Amino acid sequence: MSRAPLPYNPKILELFRNPKNLGKMENATVSAVAGNPSCGDMIIFYLKINDKDVIEKASFESYGCAANIATSSIVTEMIKGMKLEDAWEISWKSVVKAVGGLPSVKFHCGILAVGALKRAIRAYYKNKGTSPNWLPKEQTFEEKQALEEEELAEILSKRMKAEEEK
Amino acid sequence: MIGNIRELLKAHEGLRREVYLDIENSSMVPKEVVDAMLPYFNQHAYGNPTLTHKLGWEAFETIMESSQKVATFLGCKTLEEVSFTPGETEANNLALIGTAFSMKDKGKKIVISEVEPLSVLHVTDLLNKYGFTTVKIPVDGEGLINLEKLREAVDKDTILVSLSAVNHEIGTIQPVKEALEIVKDKNSKVIFHTDASDAYGKIPFNVLDLNVDLATISSYKILGPRGIGVLYVKEGVHMDRILEGQIGTQKLWPGVENTPLIVGFAKASELAFQNFEENMNHMRRLRDKLIDGIIGKIQDVKLNGPKGDKRASDNVNISFLRCEGEALTIELSLNGVYVSSGSACTRRLLQPSHVLIAIGRKFVEAHGSILMKVTRYHTEEDIDYVLEVIPKAVERIRGIVGSMEVK
């Protein structure tokens, strides 16, 4: 176990201190969670989507570190007014860029944010009962990573339980 | 990178008060200690203590005097029992690896607890790669080692037992004397080491009373300079060196002695043991004020470690549920309160503090933990300020969690 220095940049600090689009959205069209509190890392996105498949409003809540809060907040800013098809194209790298860079140990925060966004978009079309042809059947990198983190949390907590029972 | 740091520091400008409570990870060095050290850099005793000239002899005299002071406070029989090393990490490495090397033909088993510091835990991982095996004794919900399991674990093959005297994260005072009696009763040849870095200067601790073979102490944990520690080695106990080179006054650690740091450690010891009872009572009062204040003001918190006399005089460790520790440490820092967290987010791996997991805390409880240590220099006003800042910080971070369920 080791520690890394975390020289967060001014953009992250600003989003940490004054997060944009924070809070539960009561009339959201769709919401999606990614991460697991056992990993110290969980976010939820709320999207208000109109009948032209455009994101009118986005908000988030986060249980996590400053990087987690900042990346979630910036994603809600990036996707506001976007068509779902365009929002789908946002990659974790572009999120990292938008927050002005992240320490490499915090890349997973950007990945988790994009994972949650993609899950929300999928959930929207699932609810709608349609699937546009730009939406890939197979999971993207970010979705797989989010899943992997969640599974890791499961494994760790199972291991803990097993230790307790010993 | 450096630009980011400068901006982060700028965000701290104009703070009304600042309270540093992260003594676990590094400490401020009081002016009296710095003043004591300064002449030894360029006015006096800056020679090599093993050489035949005035500055060398001055250094030799200074190191002997400092060793004698530390030896007295520790309760040693002779000053030769004090070996200076560059810190707690190095002293623990020396104790474990040095003993394992020298005892390798007598047995292969090492016994430690689940709540040892990383400089014990990771060293046993290393030794396990070279043919040794390590058994970790579990602890109870307050971090007390299970003496029955210790009794079961020690056998003919056991060469070394290492149990810290006070837990570095949750302040549990361990029954070292009882543990040692159990160990020696099962196998009198076992070398018993204790990391006493969180005991020395903080609770009554005396190597002669305890009869341990080896003990580690650290300078910065008693507000001395970083970069210096001591391994106590009881007269007659043999161990191998783990580094080789020019051996001088320190038979177990080669290289040129760092006289100013040794002087600083001795001075810090003097200050810690001067009015020892009074200092302890002061720290206990602030510790309890902090613990009671937090528990009284904030909902959904859990004290980690025991209460009252079973806890070291300086230690406060509290889990804030629905609150991620790294975010909380940053929020507290921006308000002038400097602490650390057992959250995984302050580390490279996803696993939080092994000590908190060992006492049965859930991951989310460990992620939301904050570790603070008070010193004799902290005041009631400092603690009042901390108790004003923490509830607001926790409220803001919990506000970001919002309606999410954190389990």
pLDDT tens for B160-195 read: 999 999 999 999 999 999 999 999 999 999 999 999
Classify residue B17 by burial, with Cβ atoms within 10 Å: 0-12, 13-18, 19+: middle
DSSP result, B202-241: TS---HHHHT-SEEEEESGGGT--SS-EEEEE-TT-----
- Annotate A123-147 with DSSP letters as a single string: HHHHHHT---TTS-SSPPHHHHHHH
A105 interface with B at CB cutoff 8 Å = yes
Q: Provide the ipTM.
A: 0.94
Q: Kindly give the pairing relationship between strand B82-85 and strand B19-20.
A: unpaired
Compute the distance between CA of residue B217 and CA of residue B168 in angstroms, rounded to an integer: 12
A10-165 maps to which CATH number? 3.90.1010.10
Task: List CB contacts (< 8 A) between A103 and chain B.
Answer: none
For residue A40, the model assigns a pLDDT of 86
**Taking all residues of chain B, what is their mean pLDDT, rounded to a whole number?**
96
Answer whether B327 touches A (CB < 8 Å): yes
- Give the pLDDT confidence score for residue B135 in this predicted structure: 98
Torsion of Cα atoms, B78 then B261 then B266 then B90, to 10°: -50
Pick the CATH number of B32-273 from 3.40.640.10, 3.30.360.10, 2.40.50.140, 3.40.190.10: 3.40.640.10
Whether A165 shows a pLDDT value over 70: the answer reads no
> B282 pLDDT exceeds 60?
yes
Question: Least CA distance to A160: which residue of chain B?
Answer: B357
* pLDDT at residue A1 is higher than 60: no
Residue B348 has pLDDT above 60, yes or no: no
Matching CATH number, B2-21+276-401, of 3.90.1150.10, 3.40.1190.20, 3.30.365.10, 3.40.50.10800: 3.90.1150.10
Tell me the DSSP string of A78-121.
Answer: HHTT-BHHHHHT--HHHHHHHTT---GGGHHHHHHHHHHHHHHH
DSSP B126-161: HHHHTT-EEEEE-B-TT--B-HHHHHHH--TTEEEE
CB-closest option in A1, A40, A61 to B343: A40
Are the beta carbons of B368 and B352 closer than 8 angstroms? no
Which residue of chain A is at minimal alpha-carbon distance from B404? A61
pLDDT digits (tens, 9 = 90+) for A93-143: 999 999 999 988 899 999 999 999 999 999 999 999 999 999 999 999 999
Q: Cβ–Cβ of B360/A149 closer than 8 Å?
A: no
Q: Does A18 lie at the interface with B, CB-CB under 8 angstroms?
A: no
Query: Which among B1, B363, B403 is the nearest to A38, CB-wise?
Result: B363
At A3, the pLDDT band (50, 70, 90 cuts) reads confident
Residues B374-403 have a mean pLDDT of: 98
Cα distance from B171 to chain A (closest Cα, Å)? 21
Chain A: closest CA distance from residue B60 (Å): 38
Among residues B345, B381, B395, B400, the one annotated as catalytic is B345
CB contact under 8 A, A40 and B406: no
Mean pLDDT, range B109-126, rounded to an integer: 97
* pLDDT tens sequence across B239-257: 999 999 999 999 999 999 9
Judged by CB atoms closer than 8 Å, whether chains meet at B401 and A66 is answered as no
For B403, name the nearest residue in chain A, comparing CA atoms only.
A24
User: Looking at the partner chain, which of B351, B399, B400 has a beta carbon nearest the beta carbon of A1?
Assistant: B351
Q: Chain B within 8 Å of A28 (Cβ-Cβ)?
A: no
Size of interface A-B (CB pairs under 8 A): 111
Structure tokens at B153: 């674990």
Question: What is the b/e burial string over B92-111, where b = at least 16 CB atoms within 10 angstroms of the residue's CB?
Answer: bbbbbbbbbebbeeebbbbb
Residues of chain A with pLDDT > 70: what percent?
A: 95
Place of tokens 């016994």: B111
Rounded distance, CA B175 to CA B161, Å? 14
Chain B contact set for A41 (CB, 8 A): 324, 345
Are A69 and B407 an interchain contact pair (Cβ–Cβ within 8 Å)? no
Q: In this complex, is the C-beta atom of B345 within 8 Å of any C-beta atom belonging to chain A?
A: yes
Q: A4 and chain B: CB distance < 8 Å anywhere?
A: yes
Cα(A113)–Cα(B357) distance, integer angstroms:
28
Task: Give residues with Cβ within 8 angstroms of B201, minimum separation 6.
Answer: B73, B221, B222, B268, B269, B272, B273, B276
pLDDT in tens, A50-75: 999 999 999 999 999 999 999 999 99
B22 close contact with A: CB closer than 8 A: no
Q: What is the DSSP string of B344-387?
A: GGGSSSS---HHHHHTT--HHHHHTEEEEE--TT--HHHHHHHH
pLDDT at B203 > cutoff 80: yes
User: Residue A22 has what DSSP assignment?
Assistant: B
CA-based nearest residue to B393, from B332, B343, B341, B337: B332
What are the DSSP calls for B285-327, one per residue? Answer: HHHHHHHHHHHHH-SSEEE-S--GGGB-TTEEEEEETT--HHH
pLDDT reading at B347 higher than 70:
no
Q: List, for residues B137-146, the tens digit of each pLDDT value.
A: 999 999 999 9
Q: Parse chain A into domains and list their residue ranges.
A: 10-165
| Residue B88: band (very low, low, confident or very high) from pLDDT cuts 50, 70, 90 | very high
* Domain edges within chain B: 2-21+276-401, 32-273
pLDDT of residue A107: 92
Chain A partners within 8 Å of B345 (Cβ) = 40-41, 64-65, 68
- Put simply, whether A155 touches B (Cβ < 8 Å) is no
Known catalytic membership, residue B345: yes
Which residues of chain B have a CB within 8 Å of the CB of A44?
A: 404
Give the residue from B115, B350, B395 with the most A CB atoms within 10 Å of its CB, the best one to mutate: B350
